[in-house]
Amino acid sequence: MTNIFRPHSLRALLLRCLLLAFCLSAHAAKAEEIQSPNRNLTLHFALGAAGAPTYSLSYKGRPVIKTSRLGLDLKEGPGLTDGFAVASTSTSAVDERWNPVWGEVKTIRNHYTQLTVTLTQAATRRTMLLHFRLFDDGLGLRYDFPKQPNLDYVVIKEERTQFALAGDHKAFWLPGDYDTQEYHTTTSKLSEVRGLMNKAVTPNASQTTFSPTGVQTPLMLRSQDGLYINLHEAALVDYAAMSLDLDDRNMVLESHLTPDARGDKGYLQTPAVTPWRTVIVSDRAGDILESKLVLNLNEPTRYKDVSWIKPIKYVGVWWEMITGRSSWSYTDEGNIKLGSFDYARAKPNGTHAANTANVKRYIDFAAKHKLDAVLVEGWNVGWEDWFGKHKDEVFDFVTPYPDFDVQELHRYAASKGIKMMMHHETSGSIRNYERHMDAAYRFMAENGYSAVKSGYVGNILPRGEYHYGQWMNNHYLYAVTEAAKYKIMVNAHEAVRPTGLSRTYPNLIGNESARGTEYESFGGNNADHTTILPFTRLIGGPMDYTPGIFETRISAYNPKNKSFVHSTLARQLALYVTMYSPLQMAADLPETYEKYLDAFQFIEDVAVDWDDTRVLEAEPGDYITIARKAKGKSSWFVGSTCDEQGRTSSIDLGFLDPGKSYAATIYADRKDAHYEKNPQAYAIRKMKVSSATKLSLYCAPGGGYAISIVAQ
């Protein structure tokens, strides 16, 4: 018998096997690299040990994200974290422009290089795609799961996206809470987070912090060598919100998804994609504020007709309740089940603010000062028991208190050219709200309400669900899309932090999702608060911060309340520019504004929609100065806010059109102004300016300034 395995044949076969193994290994470990259009950013992808996908990011040759792992753990079966080989890669580039329905600029450039990596997991025969989009100002990455036989419906145990940082950066952080962002921001090194976590100021006792070293996004960082880094997410749809666990020994942040009532982190049915994970980076702080990366990672608007979506400047029956001067409820009688209580026989408490006569007073003020709308809270029955035993069914969103005449106020507001803004406080009872939602929106449309402020105060019902879990995130978007059917804009409070969805659904005109002005009546916000929020909360979308408080002593409205507003009056004006929103409230009472009409003129004049935005000065936690050009006009408005240290701001008006003359009105702190000692010390002066003008303006501790600039 002939031996076919001759020595030279065996050697040739072994050589071929080794060569094949080498080629397969090289293919599996193949590294890919792309650069941003301006070549400042470089993204590197590779498969690491055991076929684990990894990436890294550098800026001008400096490390931003060191080698970091990617993947998801599943509740059942093998995870999607290792065992991968690269099946294919592709690159592409996009350079386009689009016009937002409303925004900080008229036109946004969407310019990026994309790398798509198709991975196969041999042991499970599953496929996972990774998309990396590299813009001039940062990175977006997401997971993509095509429809496939071996990956149909899965339960997520945890997402394992890492951000391995290059050092112990300065961080502006909030505790990683499943239910609220309403904290003071803590500023510290990352290595100090663990020790400071328990000292973070909590807004209420019902919060649940997931980890002693967990932090929320957007997370703002500053490296020791002067890089500004922002971590967040974009296009949060049908997925749980992401926070970040910190390994403070290795300075690695890893995604941590909000669980549901059973502890599961989410449910995917293929085909499916995750939200984008975002890294914005620059060596200039102002670039972080000017970035449109999060918006660019969202889909274009879903609506064919957007003519009904209009930015709004409004006043409201709100601050008098927040301060304790007035009440939301009509009666103090409690334990009221909806539909079983005779309000006509109820004893009025005498402090109910949402009564017809009082609302007309706000309508008159809005009409006189060319505002757009009036918000009314506490108009509907149920407030006397919304934390009581009938919480799950306390509101129906269509039944007014006896002293609130819906039809008469509709007629009166329309006669003055004023829109009415509805308020829906759900008290966290989601099924109740969804049962009544269509009737509530129809009621709004029939009675002249073009926008709704919705609220989600308290623990979520069904019990065990959290504000930022997948189920609740789906509800928030459902509310927005249902509202669109009635051409209603939505301003959701206590909802999930924004992730740029206002591009796709532009009737999502505002959110709270942070510690707003109301806390000035609950002990106060830190003086540096508004120098940080634009770098954190506002990265994902506008905030209904409700500025414009001129009476800074809360005791002026409620002698029992000893809080005060941690801001000068001049800075309250600046916030209309620095705290971007197409929904801006003049939050104080009409009678207070009547005392300061010279300062109120800025609120009356300032725009809420813009053609251009320039960040003139910025350092997170210290100061921000921004100039904005009004939509369709030649007017500019400037706002500056600083921390408790105070400073002198130096700006160049080179953004103005050359050769033109402008009239500037400057609303500034006086030299003796101070947010604690003398907050209402302001001065107004007028001067001629041009593109050659340079200004040096004093900002008091906790202060700032505002400027209106009108072409002559």
Mean per-residue pLDDT for 155-162?
98
Mean per-residue pLDDT for 539-559?
98
What pLDDT, on the 0 to 100 scale, is given for residue 13? 38
Give pLDDT tens digits for 528-546. 999 999 999 999 999 999 9
Residues noted as catalytic: 518
CATH architecture for the domain at 312-609? Alpha-Beta Barrel (3.20)
* Nearby residues of 363 by Cβ (< 8 Å), 6 or more positions away: 374, 409, 412, 413, 416, 418
- According to the CATH classification, is domain 31-296 in 2.70.98.10? yes
How many angstroms separate the CA atoms of 356 and 182, rounded? Answer: 32
Mean per-residue pLDDT for 390-407?
87
- Does pTM top 0.85 for this prediction? yes
Helix (H) or strand (E) holding 412: helix 406-415
- Which of 99-108, 339-348, 371-380, 423-432 shows the lowest per-residue confidence on average (mean pLDDT)? 339-348
Give the residue carrying structure tokens 């069914």.
393
Report the share of the chain in percent with pLDDT over 90: 89
Mean per-residue pLDDT for 653-672?
98
Pick left, alpha or beta for residue 427 (phi over 0 → left; psi -120 to 50 → alpha; otherwise beta): left
Give pLDDT tens digits for 13-42. 333 443 334 334 444 456 899 999 999 999
Using pLDDT thresholds of 50, 70 and 90, give the confidence band for residue 332: confident
Strands 126-135 and 108-121: antiparallel
Statement: residue 53 has pLDDT above 80: yes
Q: 40: which DSSP letter?
A: -
**Domain extents in the chain:** 31-296, 312-609
| Residue 296 and residue 304 in contact, taking contact as beta carbons nearer than 8 Å | no
Mean per-residue pLDDT for 439-456?
97
Per DSSP, the three-state class of 534 is: helix
Q: Is 31-296's fold the same as 312-609's? A: no
| Residue 376 and residue 423 in contact, taking contact as beta carbons nearer than 8 Å | yes
Statement: residue 56 has pLDDT above 70: yes
* Nearby residues of 330 by Cβ (< 8 Å), 6 or more positions away: 343, 346, 348, 349, 352, 378, 381, 383, 384, 401, 402, 403
CA dist list (Å): 496 to 255, 468, 606: 16, 5, 28
* Nearby residues of 302 by Cβ (< 8 Å), 6 or more positions away: 504, 505
Residue from 287, 281, 280, 273 nearest 235 by CA: 273
Give pLDDT tens digits for 254-285. 999 999 999 999 999 999 999 999 999 999 99
Supply the mean pLDDT for the chain. 93
What pLDDT, on the 0 to 100 scale, is given for residue 389? 56
What pLDDT, on the 0 to 100 scale, is given for residue 391? 62
